[in-house]
Amino acid sequence: MTQDARIFWQTLQDDWARLRSIHLRDLFAQNPDRFLDFSATKDDLTIDFSKERVDYRAWTNLLALAEACDVEAKRDAMFAGEHINTTEDRAVMHVALRAKAIDSYCVDEELTAPLVNATLDAFLAFADAVRDGQITGTRGKRFTDVVNIGIGGSDLGPVMAVKALAAYGEEGPQMHFFANVDGTDFHDKMSKLNPATTLLLIASKTFTTSETMTNAHTAKQWLLTELSHSEVGQNLVALSTNLNATQEFGVADDRVFGFWDWVGGRYSLCASIGLPLALAVGSANFREMLDGFRDMDLHFKTAPLAENLPVLLALIGIWRRNIMGAPTLAIMPYDQRMERFPAYVQQMDMESNGKSINRAGDPVGHQTAPVIWGEVGTNAQHSFFQLLHQGTDIVPVDFLMAAQPGHGLGAHHELLMANFLAQSEALALGKETDEVLAEMLADGVGKDVAQALAPHRSFHGNSPSTSIVYKEMTPFALGRLVALYEHKVFVQGAIWDINSFDQWGVELGKTAAVKIATVVSGDAPISGLHPSTQHLLKRMTALQA
Helix H segments across 327-409?
A: 341-353, 385-390
CA 286 to chain CA centroid, Å, is: 18
pLDDT of residue 262: 96
Q: How far is CA 192 from CA 148, 219, 237, 323, in A?
A: 16, 13, 21, 52
494 sits in which H/E element: helix 475-496
pLDDT of residue 113: 97
Please count the other Cβ atoms lying within 10 Å of the Cβ belonging to residue 329.
23
- Asked if 472 and 407 count as a contact pair (C-beta separation under 8 A), the reply is no
pLDDT of residue 506: 82
pLDDT of residue 377: 92
Length of the chain: 545
Per-residue burial over 183-196, b = 16 or more CB atoms within 10 Å of its CB, e = otherwise: eeebeebbeebebb
312 sits in which H/E element: helix 309-318
Of 287, 419, 398, nearest to 345 (Cα)?
398
Sheet of strand 236-239, all strands in order from the earlier edge strand to the far edge: 174-178, 145-149, 198-203, 236-239
For 260, list phi and psi in degrees, rounded to 5.
-120, 160
375 is catalytic: no
pLDDT of residue 271: 97
456 is catalytic: no
Strand duo 328-333 + 371-374: pairing: parallel
Distance CA 136, CA 146 (A): 12
Strand duo 110-111 + 145-149: pairing: unpaired
Distance CA 341, CA 333 (A): 8
351 is catalytic: yes
pLDDT of residue 1: 75
Which amino acid would we find at residue 333? P
Distance CA 339, CA 197 (A): 28
The pTM of this model reads 0.95
Which amino acid would we find at residue 350? M
CA 396 to chain CA centroid, Å, is: 17
Catalytic residue among 187, 229, 382, 538: 382
Q: What is the pLDDT along the chain (545 residues), one digit of tens a residue?
A: 787 888 999 999 999 999 999 999 999 999 999 999 999 999 999 999 999 999 999 999 999 999 999 999 999 999 999 999 999 999 999 999 999 999 999 999 999 999 999 999 999 999 999 999 999 988 889 999 999 999 999 999 999 999 999 999 878 899 999 899 998 988 888 888 999 999 999 999 889 888 899 999 999 999 999 999 999 999 999 999 999 999 999 999 999 999 999 999 999 999 999 999 999 999 999 999 999 999 999 999 999 999 999 999 999 999 999 999 999 999 999 999 999 999 999 999 999 999 999 999 999 989 999 999 999 999 999 999 999 999 999 999 999 999 999 888 889 999 999 999 999 999 999 999 999 999 999 999 999 999 999 999 999 999 999 999 999 999 999 999 999 999 999 999 999 999 999 988 887 877 788 889 899 988 999 999 999 999 999 999 999 98
Catalytic residue among 187, 229, 510, 535: 510
End-to-end, the C-alpha distance of the chain in Å comes to 58
Catalytic residue among 351, 355, 389, 487: 351
Distance CA 128, CA 65 (A): 47
Distance CA 243, CA 335 (A): 40
Surface-to-core class of residue 419, CB atoms within 10 Å of its CB (0-12 exposed, 13-18 middle, 19+ buried): middle
* Residue 528: DSSP 8-state: G
- Asked if 68 and 5 count as a contact pair (C-beta separation under 8 A), the reply is yes
Please count the other Cβ atoms lying within 10 Å of the Cβ belonging to residue 395.
22
Distance CA 349, CA 345 (A): 6
- Asked if 296 and 491 count as a contact pair (C-beta separation under 8 A), the reply is no
Distance CA 352, CA 293 (A): 19
121 sits in which H/E element: helix 113-132
- β partners of residue 459: 431
Peptide bond into 86 cis (omega under 30): no
